[in-house]
Amino acid sequence: MITIQKLHKEYNNKIVLQNVSFKAKKGEITGLIGPNGSGKSTLIRILLGLENSQMGIAMINGKKYSQLGDNSFGIVGSFLDSCQPYPTRTGFQHLRWIGLACGIDKNRCNECLELVGLSEAKNKKVKDYSLGMKQRLGLATALLANPDILILDEPINGLDPEGIRWVRNFLQSFVNEGKTVLMTSHYMSELELTVDHLVGISNGKIVIDAPTKDILKQFGSFEEAYFKALEGKEGE
């Protein structure tokens, strides 16, 4: 489980995250939405130990990322939209390089490439991959150590409709095994079909934190719920 509690982050006296709290539970896909600059990526980076916060805690299974030990890669797999593979390596070489550092054999690298539909392109250089192929490689990287938790930043960006549907089905199967997914996305209509719980963030504050079924029952769509929440915040 992922726990964010009273997280506060500032850059040069500008508040990026303000008293942010929510949970991403086992057996659920939690979606995190918000416009560019809303604090989504900063939150993910704090959760993965890439940045510090001034206050609050971000925990994975009750521990900070830095406390997970040598097996952190086997506990949580991550894909950050801003982190791209070395362009002159092949897809297989990219996974193999990471696998060697984590004690994962080449057979698992091939399994993950097959899982995301890149077997035929495994010997192709990453610089020649389409955006959608790079997204699939990022997901293969996150899955390499067979983690129980996935943290994914914009995983469906650049995918065609077939690829988006594949990601949706895969993630739903993943959490059906009692595992956890936290994902960000700009595609609200797709998230309606994918996530079990939605967290909306705007100007560093939580504006929505509710199960998908409750949101759709009350508002009909994530988009309507999000903008209604913003209107409510403006009136406060």
CA distance 68 to 187: 32
Looking at residue 235, its pLDDT comes to: 45
The CATH code of the domain that includes 30 is: 3.40.50.300
Structural domain includes residue 101: no
3-state DSSP assignment of residue 85: coil
Question: pTM for the full model?
Answer: 0.88
> Token pair of 55, please?
């206050």
Percentage helix, strand, coil, to 5, in the chain?
45, 25, 30
Structural domain includes residue 6: yes
Looking at this protein, which amino acid is placed at residue 211? P
Structural domain includes residue 42: yes
Looking at residue 39, its pLDDT comes to: 79
Please name the residue that has the structure tokens 């040069």.
Answer: 12
Structural domain includes residue 90: no
Looking at residue 145, its pLDDT comes to: 87
The CA-atom distances, in angstroms, between 228 and each of 70, 200, 222 are: 44, 11, 10
Structural domain includes residue 133: no
Structural domain includes residue 91: no
Query: Exposure string (b/e) for 81-108, b if CB count within 10 Å is 16 or more?
Result: beeebeeeebbbbbbbebbeeeebeeeb
Domain that holds residue 182: 2-83+147-234
Please list, in sequence order, all residues whose beta carbon lies within 8 angstroms of the beta carbon of residue 125, skipping any fewer than 6 positions away.
Answer: 87, 88, 89, 90
Looking at residue 81, its pLDDT comes to: 65
Structural domain includes residue 188: yes
Count of structural domains within the chain: 1
Q: Which residues pair with 14 in a beta bridge?
A: 11
Per residue in 191-236, pLDDT (tens digit) is: 899 999 999 998 888 999 999 999 999 999 999 999 888 876 554 4
Per residue in 132-153, pLDDT (tens digit) is: 888 888 889 898 888 999 999 8
Looking at residue 65, its pLDDT comes to: 87
Q: Which residues of the chain have pLDDT under 50?
A: 235-236
CA distance 42 to 59: 15
Structural domain includes residue 98: no
